[in-house]
Chain A
Amino acid sequence: EDKVVQSPLSLVVHEGDTVTLNCSYEVTNFRSLLWYKQEKKAPTFLFMLTSSGIEKKSGRLSSILDKKELSSILNITATQTGDSAIYLCAVVDSGGGADGLTFGKGTHLIIQP
């Protein structure tokens, strides 16, 4: 059975700190890994990582895929209170068809002023 595990489940840091969120996966035929940020409502897309694109960066956020270790990290530097959210990791395998993503349970990040 496919599995996506995120750690830590929750994290509290102070504004300005740097955080690293982890996602490990076990899927039959890995295709891509996605990171989402979820505040009050639906998740919003952050990054997609594939075999041909293992590192992405956008402002203070960056993500790396380690295919050997079957994992990914999401880094946030110089955190701000607006970064407080649940960060979701999801994986797609290439079993064909349009099957949905397999999600981890998320990391609840709280940035204290």
Chain B
Amino acid sequence: DVKVTQSSRYLVKRTGEKVFLECVQDMDHENMFWYRQDPGLGLRLIYFSYDVKMKEKGDIPEGYSVSREKKERFSLILESASTNQTSMYLCASRSLSRDRVNEQYFGPGTRLTVT
């Protein structure tokens, strides 16, 4: 079974704080992704990573950065949290194997509230 875990299920931070959201997958997947999910807006891609030390901006990268120093770990960083970053954050992982390409598996999500 694919397993994608996220460091926290619920998180409450203050405006201006630096926030780290961690995601770990144990399936040796090359690709990893960070999404946020908001009512009425659906799932939107923040950043993704092809492989270790590689990253690309998604649709809404502003206010976020990422780090991928090891293959299994993809971190999302909010340099200075703002209230409009209150959201559900979902990490995902994807294999490049021929028979499973594009099957993308999600972590359980982190509900972040910025006050």
Contacts and interface: CB of A to CB of B under 8 A. Distances in A.
Interface of A: 31-32, 34, 36, 41-45, 48, 50, 88, 90, 92, 97-101, 103-106
B92 A100 contact: yes
Counting chain B CB atoms within 10 Å of each CB, which of A45, A88, A92, A101 scores highest? Answer: A101
Nearest to B91: A42
B28 interface: no
Contacts of B92: 100
A88 B43 CA distance: 9
B58 A100 contact: yes
Contact of A45 (B48, B90, B103): B103
B102 A92 contact: yes
B92 to A, nearest CB: 7
A44 B102 contact: no
A1 to B, nearest CB: 10
Contact of A44 (B30, B94, B106): B106
Contacts of B90: 42-43
A61 B35 CA distance: 26
B50 A98 contact: yes
Contact of A100 (B41, B45, B105): B45
B75 interface: no
A97 B42 contact: no
B40 A34 contact: no
A90 B43 CA distance: 10
